[in-house]
C-alpha cells in the first residue's frame, strides 16, 4: 500500500538570470537597481524541487503539493501565471522581500511557521522540499534550519533523485565531494530534501492545469500575510558586482606540471 504524501515545497522568485543585475545601496539597505522592474522567474533550484514533488505526488495517489513562497505579491502573481501551467499545487503566499540581502535564520523561521499553519498537516506524511542552494538566498542553510524548526532530523542535501521502495522507505541519491553520489535510505516521512538539479525535465505547459491552479492562486495572493524579514543588526559594508578579469597567455610545449604551478601561483597572489 503506497503512502499518500503531503509535500511542501519552499521556493521564492528571483530576477531573470538573463538580466543585468546591479547592486545599489538604499536607506533600507542593499538592493538591486530597478529591482521591481526586472522580470522574475521561480528560483531554478526551487523549480527542480517543485517538479520532483509533483512527480512523486502523481505516483502516490492521495498526495498533495503546496508551494510556499516569500515574495512581493505583484511579482509573485506574474511568475505564477507561468508556473501554474506546469504542475498541480496549492500556493501559500507570504508578502515579503525576495532579494538575497536577507538572513537565512529569519527566512527559515517564517517558512517553518507557514508550514505548521497548513490545515490538516500530518507530520507522519510530511516531506519538505526546497532548493539545495538559491539564486537569491544562496546561504545553503535555509532548508536545514526549516527542518530543525519543524523537528525533522532526517535531512538530505544536494539531492538528484528519490525512489520509493516497496516497503515505503525512501532511497535518495545525494551529491558528495569529488563529483560522486552517495545512496541514502530513509524509513519514510517526515524528511527534508534540498534538491540540486533533480533528474526530471521541465514539464510542458498545460492550460487545464493552469486554470485549475489559478482558481486557488488568486485568492491565496489576496490573503497573503506580510512577512517581515528585518535582518536587524546586520550591516553590509559594501555591495559590488564580481570583478571581471581575463588574462590570456598562449604557450607551446609546456608540461602540465609547469602550467599547474603557474596557476597556483596566480591564485595565491589574488
Q: Give the per-residue pLDDT at 1.
A: 45
What is the grid cell recorded at 150? 519543524
Q: Give the per-residue pLDDT at 39.
A: 78
**CA–CA gap between residue 75 and residue 82 (Å, rounded):** 12
Q: Which residues of 184-208 are buried (b: 16+ CB within 10 A; e: fewer)?
A: eebebbbbbbbbbebeeeeeeeeee
Answer whether 0.85 is exceeded by the pTM: no
- The full 3-state SS of 70-85, as one line of letters, equals EECHHHHHHHHHHHCC
What is the grid cell recorded at 162? 528519490
Task: Please give the class, per CATH, of domain 6-226.
Answer: alpha beta
Q: Give the per-residue pLDDT at 14.
A: 82
Q: Give the per-residue pLDDT at 65.
A: 93
What is the grid cell recorded at 28? 533600507
pLDDT in tens, the chain (270 residues): 467 899 999 988 887 777 767 677 766 666 677 677 777 888 888 889 999 999 999 988 999 999 999 888 888 888 888 888 989 999 998 888 777 667 778 888 889 999 999 999 989 999 999 888 776 666 678 888 989 999 999 999 888 889 998 888 899 988 887 778 899 898 888 999 988 887 788 888 888 998 998 998 898 888 888 877 766 666 666 666 666 667 777 778 888 888 888 889 888 876
CA 183 to chain centre: 22
Residue ranges of the domains in the chain? 6-226
**CA–CA gap between residue 181 and residue 162 (Å, rounded):** 13
Amino acid at each position: 500500500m503506497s503512502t499518500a504524501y503531503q509535500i511542501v515545497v519552499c521556493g521564492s522568485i528571483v530576477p531573470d538570470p538573463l538580466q543585468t543585475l546591479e547592486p545599489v545601496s538604499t536607506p533600507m539597505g542593499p538592493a538591486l537597481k530597478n529591482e521591481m522592474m526586472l522580470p522574475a522567474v521561480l528560483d531554478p533550484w526551487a523549480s527542480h524541487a517543485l517538479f520532483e514533488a509533483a512527480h512523486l505526488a502523481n505516483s502516490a495517489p492521495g498526495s498533495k503539493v503546496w508551494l510556499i513562497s516569500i515574495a512581493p505579491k505583484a511579482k509573485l502573481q506574474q511568475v505564477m501565471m507561468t508556473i501554474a501551467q506546469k504542475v498541480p499545487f496549492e500556493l501559500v503566499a507570504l508578502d515579503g522581500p525576495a532579494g538575497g540581502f536577507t538572513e537565512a535564520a529569519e527566512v527559515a523561521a517564517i517558512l517553518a511557521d507557514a508550514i505548521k499553519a497548513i490545515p490538516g498537516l500530518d507530520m507522519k506524511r510530511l516531506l519538505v522540499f526546497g532548493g539545495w542552494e538559491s539564486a537569491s538566498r544562496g546561504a545553503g542553510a535555509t532548508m536545514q534550519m526549516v527542518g530543525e524548526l519543524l523537528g525533522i532530523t532526517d535531512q538530505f542535501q544536494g539531492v538528484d533523485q528519490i525512489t520509493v521502495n516497496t516497503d515505503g522507505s525512501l532511497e535518495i541519491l545525494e551529491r558528495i565531494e569529488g563529483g560522486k553520489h552517495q545512496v541514502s535510505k530513509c524509513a519514510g516521512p517526515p524528511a527534508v530534501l534540498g534538491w540540486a538539479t533533480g533528474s526530471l525535465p521541465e514539464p510542458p505547459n498545460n492550460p487545464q492545469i493552469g486554470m485549475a491552479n489559478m482558481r486557488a492562486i488568486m485568492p491565496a495572493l489576496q490573503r497573503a500575510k506580510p512577512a517581515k524579514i528585518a535582518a536587524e543588526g546586520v550591516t553590509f559594508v559594501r555591495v559590488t558586482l564580481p570583478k571581471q578579469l581575463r588574462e590570456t597567455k598562449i604557450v607551446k610545449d609546456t608540461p602540465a606540471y609547469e602550467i599547474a604551478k603557474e596557476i597556483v601561483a596566480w591564485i595565491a597572489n589574488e
